[in-house]
Structure 1
Amino acid sequence: MKRKIIDIDEEKCTGCGLCIPDCPEGALQIIDGKARLVSDLFCDGLGACIGTCPEGAISVIEREAGPYSEEAVMEKIVPQGMGVIKAHLEHLLGHGEEALYHRAIEYLAAHEIPVPAHGVEPGHAAPAACPGTVARSIPEREVAETGRAAGIESALRQWPVQLTLVNPAASYFDDADLLVSGDCVPFAYPEFHRDFLQGRILIIFCPKLDADIEGYITKLAEIFSRHTIRSITVLHMEVPCCSGVRYIVDKALNRAKKEIPVAEQTITLQGEAVEGSMVRPRGPGGGHRRDM
Structure 2
Amino acid sequence: MKRDIVKIDSERCTGCGECVKACSEGAIKMVGGKAVLTDEACCDGLGACLPACPAGAISIEERDVGTVPAHTAPEGMVPMTSCPGSGPRRIVRDGGQPEGSLSHWPVQLRLVPENAPYLKGCDLLVAADCSAFACGDFHRKFIEGHVTVIGCPKLDPRESWEKLSRIVAANDIRSITAVRMDVPCCSGIANAALSAARLCGKDIEVKIYTVRPDGKVME
What TM-score comes out, normalization by structure 2 length?
0.64
Indicate the RMSD between aligned Cα atoms, in angstroms: 3.6
Cα offset, 1:54, TM superposition:
7.6
Aligned twin of 2:29: 25
SS at match of 1:222: helix
Distance (whole Å) between structure 1 residues aligned to residue 48 and residue 110 of structure 2: 23
Seen in structure 2, the aligned counterparts of structure 1 residues 235 and 59 have a Cα distance that, compared at 3 Å, is farther
Contact 1:47 1:59 in 2 (8 A): no
Higher gyration radius (CA): 1
Distance (whole Å) between structure 2 residues aligned to residue 178 and residue 9 of structure 1: 37
Q: Deviations over 1:42-81 (max 9, x none)?
A: 61224267577187975895448xxxxxxxxxxxxxxxxx
Seen in structure 2, the aligned counterparts of structure 1 residues 205 and 253 have a Cα distance that, compared at 3 Å, is same
SS at match of 2:197: helix
Contact 1:18 1:52 in 2 (8 A): no
Task: Give 2:183's match in structure 1, choosing from 225, 234, 239.
Answer: 239
Aligned twin of 1:82: none
Question: Aligned AA for 1:7?
Answer: V
Contact 1:5 1:43 in 2 (8 A): no
Aligned twin of 1:140: none
Q: Does 1:270 align with 2:198?
A: no
Distance (whole Å) between structure 2 residues aligned to residue 55 and residue 217 of structure 1: 19
Contact 1:6 1:47 in 2 (8 A): no
Contact 1:6 1:43 in 2 (8 A): no
Identity of aligned residues (%): 34
Cα offset, 1:251, TM superposition:
2.1
Contact 2:19 2:35 in 1 (8 A): no
Distance (whole Å) between structure 2 residues aligned to residue 58 and residue 183 of structure 1: 24
Aligned twin of 2:143: 197
Residues matched between the structures, number:
169
Q: Does 1:44 align with 2:39?
A: yes
Contact 1:175 1:228 in 2 (8 A): yes
Q: Deviations over 1:175-229 (max 9, x none)?
A: 2111100000011101111111111000100000112x1x223322221222221
Question: Aligned AA for 1:271?
Answer: G
Seen in structure 2, the aligned counterparts of structure 1 residues 254 and 175 have a Cα distance that, compared at 3 Å, is same
What TM-score comes out, normalization by structure 1 length?
0.50
SS at match of 1:26: strand
Aligned twin of 1:107: none
Following TM superposition, where does structure 1 have runs of at least 4 consecutive aligned residues deviating by more than 4 angstroms? Answer: 48-52, 54-61
Aligned twin of 1:7: 6
Question: Taking CA–CA contacts closer than 8 Å with sequence separation of 6 or more, which of the two structures ends up with the larger relative contact order?
Answer: 2
Seen in structure 2, the aligned counterparts of structure 1 residues 5 and 254 have a Cα distance that, compared at 3 Å, is closer
Question: Aligned AA for 1:273?
Answer: V
Cα offset, 1:267, TM superposition:
0.2
Contact 2:6 2:43 in 1 (8 A): no
- The correspondence of residues 96-111 of structure 1 with structure 2, limited to 5 A, is none
Seen in structure 2, the aligned counterparts of structure 1 residues 253 and 44 have a Cα distance that, compared at 3 Å, is same
Q: Does 1:188 align with 2:187?
A: no
Gaps of 5+ in 1: 11-16, 30-36, 65-151, 276-292
- The correspondence of residues 1-292 of structure 1 with structure 2, limited to 5 A, is 6-8=5-7, 19-21=19-21, 22=23, 23=26, 25-26=29-30, 43-47=38-42, 53=48, 62-63=64-65, 153-211=99-157, 213=158, 215-275=159-219
Distance (whole Å) between structure 1 residues aligned to residue 61 and residue 189 of structure 2: 15
Question: Aligned AA for 1:194?
Answer: R
